[in-house]
Amino acid sequence: IPDFMMKLRAQDGIGAIALEFAILTAARTSEVIGATWAEISLEQRTWTIPAGRMKAGHEHQVPLAMSAVELLRRMEHLRTGDVVFPGQSKSGYLSNMALLAVLKRMKRSDVTAHGFRSSFRDWVSECTDYPREVAEMALAHSIGNAVEAAYRRGDLFGKRRALMALWAKYC
């Protein structure tokens, strides 16, 4: 990941910035390309993705590491509307193929944008002492066990904030 990130940061374009943001937040491509400024709080360093844009159908609050905030500040200078990562389409959003196009330009057919979520999950398990629940909540995965889902009411936000800062440092 660190080597890849160094090469990614040498790339130009909004797609490259969006891919870096996706990696730093462990978010899905669709969540990143659909991000709006109304969802972002730079002051609180949070990104609140509405339920309607989440795979599980539940609002998800993402703690933003400082490097993710710095990317957003770069995008803020290019701001022309409410879309964080604007594209050329009529909708104004970046194409869902834009992140893949960055990887193709980098000649990296061995990785996918979604695969970085898996890399994040492996890193949490293999390189940190964080419990699986924190990693799964950071990935906004649904709780498969109905009993566990009924008892889990918190969002582990403080632990997720520390985890995402550690992930950004690793990246």
Among the listed residues 45, 117, 160, 161, the single catalytic one is 117
Helix (H) or strand (E) holding 61: strand 60-63
170 is an active site residue:
no
58 is an active site residue:
no
Is 167:123 a contact under the CB 8 Å cutoff?
yes
Among the listed residues 77, 107, 151, 153, the single catalytic one is 151
Among the listed residues 9, 73, 104, 114, the single catalytic one is 114
60 is an active site residue:
no
| CA gap 149, 138 in Å, rounded | 16
28 is an active site residue:
yes
Cα 55 to Cα 7, 46, 52, 66: the distances in Å are 30, 19, 8, 26
Among the listed residues 9, 55, 79, 132, the single catalytic one is 55
Q: Which residues are catalytic?
A: 28, 55, 114, 117, 141, 151
